[in-house]
Amino acid sequence: MDTIELELTDIAHGGSCVGHLDGRAVFARFGLPGETVRIKVTKEKAKLIEGDVVEVIANSSPYRIEHPWPAAGPLGVGGAELGHVAFGYQSVWKTHVLQASIRRVGGESLTQHLESQGITPEVHFFDDDAATSGWHTRTRVEFVVDPNGQLAMYREGTHDLIAVSEQPHAVEQIDELDLFSGAWREWWTPGERVRAVVPSGSDPVAVLGRRTFAFPGVEVDPYVREDVVVDGSLYAYRVHATGFWQVHKRAAEQIIRMVTKAAGAAEGENVVELYSGAGLLTQPLAIAVGSSGSVRAFEGARQAVEDARANLRELPWAKARTSRVDAKLIEWEPADIVVADPPRTGLGLDVAGAIAKGPARRIVLVSCDPAAMARDVAAMVEAGRKVVAMDSIDMFPNTHHFEVVTALD
């Protein structure tokens, strides 16, 4: 099967629209609901078909725009699967996915629970992003060097490299690195990963494998500085250039604001933080509870824990430790407040259940996958917890990803 034609009827989790053909579900990137389209098939299984929309045959959506980054359009590199969707409609798209995930994964009981709490899950965007339609927002972007020495990215769902001459997701300060001019070619090798980092508190750097450069041939310290201002308060961080950090230029600020509000930590309280990374949330939580309280932060990545310890030196009542997060850890570490920011797979039923059954007066869950979030929150509600707030922000415009912060008592 090479191409197919059908009507797209709904939005699916993962950045595709869905239709049906001969009893099989068809998931098509670069479509919009209501359109009749021609799809280039990229994967075919017994019960489903995947592909990219290469032509709109009829009923073109009023929310369709020309994709501004052709290399990331149909059959191109991954990472901009909503680039064809008008920016104002992307939050509607993601709200639909969030609510559908809650119904499908969390079940009718979770849906009804949120309704009883007066909570309507919605995804909002940063007002500043409207001016650029969500482009030029990322402070970290990655490439692979192709056999010709050019920066490239992988074709979606494959190991095929496509050379690129731009990365519109990146903040404009990336131009200071001059990555696309050819000036770097003698310093990188085919197959090497290249990461561009534009931190808020220090100069941009390029990471080539394990080396960090300010300019071609000028190797520098592998750490960058991130200065995050939240409602007039400055939080300063030292972060390894290869380490995890929120990629949207305003994400760190917003996550701190959302989580500290949701946690409501008071002087003298004890906080357990799971998947704490470089201490982005650990630092403001420690300041909130003061020296009469405590924050115990747990993270599996050693480099992140090293960064967190550096970022907590002036807050000795906050401790970061390398540890696997599991149900036993939760049982050993009682707290007034539990804050968790797990990877895309979520907490899992065992950990979610252990947290819910623990003594914490407040649980704050930061989720980057709505399906995993719905599963984990449903488990905690089933264990007797109550959702008191659910806020969501689009930190990944022009992609299908977004972040959800849920507070439970």
Average pLDDT over residues 299-304: 96
Spatial CA neighbour of 8 closest among 33, 26, 28: 33
Q: Indicate whether 73 belongs to any domain.
A: no
Q: Which of 247, 282, 267, 261 is nearest to 389 (CA)?
A: 261
Among 43, 64, 85, the domain boundary falls at 64
Question: Do 224 and 268 share a domain, yes or no?
Answer: no
Report how far apart the first and last C-alpha atoms of the chain are (Å, whole number).
52
Residues 392 and 307 in one domain: yes
Range 180-198 average pLDDT: 95
Residue 174 and residue 167: Cα distance in Å, rounded?
9
Is 290 within the bounds of a domain?
Answer: yes
Distance between CA 241 and CA 142 in Å, rounded? Answer: 12
Any residues with CB less than 8 A from the CB of 220 and at least 6 apart, and which? 205, 212, 213, 214
Q: What CATH number should be reported for the domain holding residue 32?
A: 2.40.50.140
Within a domain: 389: yes
Residues 6+ apart with CB under 8 A from 12: 18, 27, 97
The answer to whether the CB of 144 falls within 8 A of the CB of 155 is: no
C-alpha–C-alpha distance, residues 345 and 14, integer Å? 14
Q: Which of 156, 147, 157 is nearest to 77 (CA)?
A: 156
Tokens 């099989």 correspond to 24
Burial (Cβ within 10 Å: 0-12, 13-18, ≥19) of residue 86:
middle
Question: What six digits make up the tokens of 137?
Answer: 């927002």
Pairing of strands 48-58, 24-29: parallel
Residue among 167, 220, 176, 182 nearest 198 (CA)? 176
State the pLDDT at residue 44: 92
CATH number of the domain bearing residue 404: 3.40.50.150
Total number of domains in the chain: 3
Tell me the pLDDT of the chain averaged across its residues. Answer: 97
Domain assignment of residue 89, yes or no:
no
Q: Are 398 and 135 in contact (CB under 8 A)?
A: yes
- pTM for the model: 0.96
246-287 per-position pLDDT tens digit: 999 999 999 999 999 999 999 999 999 999 999 999 999 999
**Using one digit for the tens of pLDDT, what is the confidence trace for 66-106?**
999 999 999 999 999 999 999 999 999 999 999 999 999 99
Shared domain for 150 and 113, answered yes or no, is no
Q: What band does 1 get if pLDDT is binned at 50, 70 and 90? A: low
Together in a domain, 318 and 367 = yes
Indicate whether 123 and 166 sit together in one domain: no
Instruction: Please compute the mean of the pLDDT values over residues 28-57 and round it to a whole number.
Output: 96
CA 272/CA 219 separation, integer angstroms: 38
Instruction: Tell me if 87 is assigned to some domain.
Output: no
Do 255 and 150 meet the contact criterion of CB atoms below 8 Å apart? no
pLDDT of res. 205: 98
What are 200's two structure tokens? 């808020």
Expressed as residue numbers, the domain containing 221 is 140-228
Q: Are residues 120 and 148 in the same domain?
A: no
Q: Are residues 109 and 149 in the same domain?
A: no
* 84 lies in some domain: no
Q: 3-state class of 378 per DSSP?
A: helix
Give the pLDDT confidence of 313-333 residue by residue, as tens digits. 999 999 999 999 999 999 898
Calculated CA dihedral for residues 133, 139, 143, 149, nearest 10 degrees: 100
Confidence of residue 57 (pLDDT cuts 50, 70, 90): very high
- Virtual CA dihedral for 351, 114, 271, 226, nearest 10 degrees? 100
Same domain, yes or no, for 50 and 157? no
The pLDDT score that the predictor gives to residue 231 is 95
Does some domain include residue 242? no
Q: Quickly list H helices, 247-301.
A: 251-263, 282-289
What per-residue confidence (pLDDT) applies to 252?
98
Q: Is residue 400 part of a domain?
A: yes
Q: How far is CA 397 from the centre of its chain?
A: 10
Domain end (from 228, 257, 272) = 228
109 has a pLDDT exceeding 70: yes
Note whether 52 and 112 are same-domain residues.
no
Are the C-beta atoms of 196 and 170 separated by less than 8 Å?
yes
CB–CB of 378/403 below 8 Å? Answer: no
Q: Are residues 55 and 12 in contact, defined by beta-carbon separation less than 8 angstroms?
A: no
Which residues lie below 8 Å from residue 98, measured CB to CB, with a gap of 6+? 121, 122, 123, 370, 392, 402, 404
Same domain for 203 and 302? no
Claim to verify: residue 35 and residue 162 sit in the same structural domain: no
Same domain, 59 and 101: no
